Structure 1
């Protein structure tokens, strides 16, 4: 009986986590022809099938690197 309750609790927690990570915000990008050619060539060369995932990961990685680089330090300015 205890394992059934634990399983139910785990299922509920997983459902809440999935709901929290659900993508609900939409953004659009426009590219000119040379930019699109570069993207298509890159995706073809590195066998990237899911461009949405590629854009999302690239954008978030860039943001996180910038945040890490710009975080305040104790001795800022020295």
Structure 2
């Protein structure tokens, strides 16, 4: 069996800050507690990037606009 290769993480030097309302913060905190998520930064980063990547796949360039294709 091959030894596991250590993945090298990209060095993160950029920061993204945003504000949440009390209700939004409490909702995220409840979710993280329910699913026993201990690394909030990693979870937020992965969740946002997963959403962005999913939308990028769906938002591909087309030859015609949406209205023209529906005709």
State yes or no: 1:35 paired with 2:37.
Answer: no
**RMSD of Structure 2 on Structure 1 (CA):** 2.3
Query: Deviations 1:53-78 (Å, cap 9, x if unpaired)?
Result: 01000110000000000112578754
Greater helix share, structure number: 1
In the superposition, the TM-score normalised over structure 2's length comes to: 0.73
Q: How many residues align?
A: 62
Pairing of 1:1-78 with structure 2 (within 5 A) = 18=8, 21-73=10-62, 78=69
For structure 2, the 5+ residue unaligned runs are 1-5
Q: What is the TM-score of this pair, normalised by structure 1? A: 0.67
- Aligned-partner Cα distance in 2 for 1:52–1:40: 12
Structure whose alpha-carbon radius of gyration is higher: 1
For structure 1, list consecutive stretches of 5 or more residues without a partner in the other structure.
1-13
